């Protein structure tokens, strides 16, 4: 990640007081994360925190992402969705990677993807055209709301002002990474 962050953000951002501030805030937020029932978070929480601010920020972001992600898996289970069904529904929104990229990166075959799509249609969660049906949007909304509720501790611990500041800083780094080509447009969409 060191080389990738240097390429995407540049030495000026990596040496900035803003990046060091973001790392400190993100690490502070992780102090409230819990390991119970969160295996991906717990595995990463056992790793040492890097000394360099950009790598410490990456580490903290990984912890926060996996803490939320483990909660999201719980919410998807409550919603009665398996992994591939959740991906098919997310893809139907058009706000994620293409189905081809999702299948390739997650190891799902075209047949498995089609079967999951058929199951979701049968449940009334997708339209015949493969778009998100009203019931599917409602179920996704419920799962996202539960995910949010399961992930409040880090940001409650950080407090509203510090959370807003971390968000502002992270947004600026994301814009810089996007400008450097981190998120190729051809990888995103329903396709």
Domain definitions of the chain by residue range: 2-183
Q: Nearest-CA neighbor of 106 among 130, 88, 79, 131?
A: 88
- The average pLDDT across 52-75 equals 97
Q: Nearest-CA neighbor of 132 among 78, 90, 187, 79?
A: 90
Q: Nearest-CA neighbor of 15 among 53, 49, 55?
A: 53
Q: What is the mean pLDDT of the chain?
A: 95
The CA dihedral of 47, 45, 76, 138, to the nearest 10 degrees, is -110
Q: Which pTM was predicted?
A: 0.89
* Six token digits for residue 137: 């949007």
For the stretch 100-122, pLDDT in tens is 989 999 999 999 999 999 999 99
């Amino acid at each position: 990640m060191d080389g990738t962050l240097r390429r995407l953000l540049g030495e000026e951002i990596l040496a900035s007081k803003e990046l060091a501030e973001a790392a400190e805030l993100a690490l502070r937020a992780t102090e409230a994360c819990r390991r119970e029932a969160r295996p991906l978070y717990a595995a990463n929480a056992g790793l040492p925190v890097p000394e360099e601010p950009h790598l410490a920020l990456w580490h903290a972001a990984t912890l926060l992402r996996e803490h939320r992600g483990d909660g999201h898996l719980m919410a998807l289970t409550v919603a009665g969705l398996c992994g591939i069904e959740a991906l098919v529904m997310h893809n139907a929104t058009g706000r994620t990677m293409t189905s081809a990229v999702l299948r390739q990166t997650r190891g799902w075959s075209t047949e498995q993807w089609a079967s999951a799509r058929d199951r979701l249609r049968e449940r009334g969660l997708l339209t015949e055209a493969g778009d998100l049906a009203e019931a599917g949007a409602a179920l996704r909304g419920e799962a996202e709301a539960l995910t949010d509720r399961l992930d409040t501790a880090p940001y409650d611990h950080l407090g509203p002002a510090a959370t807003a500041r971390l968000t502002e800083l992270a947004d600026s780094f994301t814009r810089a990474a996007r400008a450097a080509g981190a998120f190729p447009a051809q990888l995103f969409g329903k396709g």
